[in-house]
Amino acid sequence: MSAKFDRVFCLTGSGISAESGIPTFRGKDGYWRNLDPTKLATAAAFLNDPETVWQWYRERRELIRRSQPNAAHEALMKIAADSRRFLLVTQNVDDLHMRAESEGRRLSPEQIVQIHGDIFVTRCCRCDFSRREIDQDSSGVPKCPRCGASMRPGIVWFDEELPPHEVARVEEFPEDGACDPVLVIGTTATFDYIVRWALAAKGKAGRLIEINPDETALSQFATEAIRGPAAQVLPQLVKELTEGRHTAFKDGFFLERA
C-alpha cells in the first residue's frame, strides 16, 4: 500500500493529553497545592526546594502511569501509518504518544521528538548518569549511584535551553519540501520556536491546521483552525484527510483564515 501523505509534521502540547485526565499547566486544574506549575517547572525552583519539586513530579508520574492515550493520540498514529515521512514534536513529557497504537503499531523513536524531555527520566545534576523510572520511583531527592550528586527529573525546565540535538532533528525534517498537512494540537504556542517550526514545515503550500478550543499565538498563521477538543476533533479530521475529502468550514468548528 502506498502512503497517502508524503511528509506530515505534527506539534502537540498538553491540551492533547487533557482528555486523558492530565491537567494542562494553565488550565483550571493546573495548580498543585496552590503552587503555580510554570514556577515549579524551573531550575530555580529545584535549586531552592528540590524535595517539593520532586514530590510534584512523583505525583505527576503516578497520574500519567494511570492514564491512557485518548482518541487524539490514536488518530495521530493512523496518519503516521499513512505517511511516507512523519515527525511528531511534542512538548509533553508524558508517554501517551509512545503508548498509542494503530493496528498494533506504535511510533518509532525516529518519528517523535520530546522537545521538553521525558518525565520518567531521572538524571544526575553533575555527571551524565541517567535512568528511566517507568514502574517505580525512588524517594526524597535521589542520589547518583555513580558520583553521589543529587539527581533531577529529565525535563527541560522553563529557564533552560532546548537540547541542541533534538532541535536539529526538528529543523532538518522539512528539508526542501513543504509538509502537508502540518497539525498543531493543544498548545498555546507561547514559545516562539513552536510558531517558527510550524511555519517552516508548512512552507509555501502546505496546510497548517490548528486544533484547540481557544485562539492561540499560532492562530493568525493557520490556514484553518478547528475550535474543539482534540479527542473529539482529530479522529474525524484524520479520516477526512486520509480519504482526501477534507474541506474547511464544516460542522461549525471551522474558522476561516486567509
Binding residues (CB under 6 A) for ligand NAD: these are 13-15, 17-19, 22, 24-27, 91-94, 116, 186-188, 211-214, 216, 229-230
- Residue 129 found at the interface with Zn ion (CB under 5 A): yes
Quick one: which segment of 24-32, 68-76, 121-129, 152-160 binds Zn ion (CB under 5 A)? 121-129
Output the DSSP codes for 136-201: ----SS-B-TTT--BEEEEE--TTSPPPHHHHHHHHHTTTTSPPSSEEEES----SHHHHHHHHHH
Of the listed pieces 101-109, 125-133, 152-160, 242-250, which binds Zn ion according to CB under 5 A? 125-133
> In terms of Cα–Cα distance, which of 76, 75, 74, 80 is closest to 101?
74
Smallest gap from Cβ 98 to ligand NAD, in A, equals 12
Establish whether 97 is a catalytic residue: no
Give the helix ranges, DSSP H, for the chain. 15-18, 37-40, 43-48, 50-66, 71-81, 96-99, 164-172, 192-202, 230-242
The interface partner of residue 80, options being ligand NAD, Zn ion, none and the CB cut-off 5 to 8 Å by kind, is: none
- Exposure string (b/e) for 27-61, b if CB count within 10 Å is 16 or more? eeeeebeeeebeebbbbebbeeebeebbbbbbebb
Catalytic residue among 73, 116, 165, 246: 116
Measured from the CB atom, is 107 or 121 closer to Zn ion?
121
Residue 111: contacted member of ligand NAD, Zn ion, none (CB under 5 to 8 Å, by partner type)? none
How near is the Cβ of 258 to ligand NAD at its closest, in Å? Answer: 22
Lay out the site mask for Zn ion across 146-185 (x = CB under 5 A, - = otherwise): xx-x------------------------------------
- Shortest distance in whole angstroms from residue 116 CB to ligand NAD: 4
| Catalytic site positions | 116
